[in-house]
């Protein structure tokens, strides 16, 4: 032929092309199967697959595997922001991401959020910290008990949102799908 293409050799005795090729190639025992991503038997290496609850906001507490929800509501009791934490994490860890970029005059929180760092940050912002002092604190810090009565808004929000069984029992495995369900339930409550 004039274009440099070689013709295929004739079929072998059994009618297969491979039989007619010199030095016919047989199957290697070390080949990688099409349905496997690696050449070894057994489970893939540890770094290749997801394991455990490291990034799913699930952690151990006294009641077993739990997720903490640290939420921020507005003056009407509607959800402003929230963050998911593993059950063993302290509540005050979630405050900094919630209040960044927000302007407010007062932050009403319970005793679990009583820390010098949070009080200092609120003081620097010019916001009032309405947080009763923790029992373990050496001295007492005054707080406005009349303003603190408005904390029922967050308690009412959690009471309403736990009516959604999916939120109360956390059916979702990943934190992204749980957060999406939480957003959906909060939006439904805000529209009521």
Which tokens sit at 164?
Answer: 């959604």
Length of the chain: 192
Give the residue carrying structure tokens 């002092």.
133
Collect all residues with Cβ–Cβ distance below 8 Å to 28 and sequence separation of at least 6. Answer: none
Domains in the chain: ranges and CATH: 59-191 (3.30.420)
| 20 compared with 128, residue with greater pLDDT | 128
How far apart CA 50 and CA 55 sit, in angstroms, is 10
In angstroms, what CA-CA distances link 15 with 7, 9, 23, 131, 168?
Answer: 17, 12, 17, 87, 68
Each residue of 150-175: pLDDT tens digit? 999 999 999 999 999 989 888 888 88
Each residue of 68-106: pLDDT tens digit? 888 999 999 999 999 888 878 777 887 888 888 889 899
Each residue of 115-162: pLDDT tens digit? 888 899 999 999 999 999 888 888 888 888 899 999 999 999 999 999
pTM summary value = 0.65
């Amino acid at each position: 032929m004039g274009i440099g293409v070689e013709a295929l050799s004739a079929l072998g005795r059994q009618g297969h092309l491979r039989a007619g090729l010199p030095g016919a190639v047989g199957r290697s025992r070390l080949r990688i199967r099409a349905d496997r991503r690696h050449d070894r038997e057994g489970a893939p290496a540890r770094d290749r697959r997801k394991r455990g609850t490291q990034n799913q906001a699930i952690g151990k507490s006294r009641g077993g595997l739990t997720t903490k929800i640290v939420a921020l509501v507005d003056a009407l009791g509607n959800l402003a922001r929230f963050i998911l934490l593993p059950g063993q994490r302290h509540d005050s860890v979630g405050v900094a991401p919630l209040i960044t970029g927000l302007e407010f005059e007062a932050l009403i929180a319970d005793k679990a959020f009583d820390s010098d760092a949070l009080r200092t940050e609120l003081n620097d912002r010019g916001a009032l910290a309405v947080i009763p002092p923790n029992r373990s604190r050496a001295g007492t810090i005054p707080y406005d008990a009349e303003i603190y009565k408005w904390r029922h808004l967050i308690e009412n929000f959690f009471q309403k949102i736990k009516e959604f069984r999916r939120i109360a029992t956390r059916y979702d495995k990943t934190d992204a799908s749980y957060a999406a369900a939480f957003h959906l339930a909060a939006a439904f409550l805000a529209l009521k």
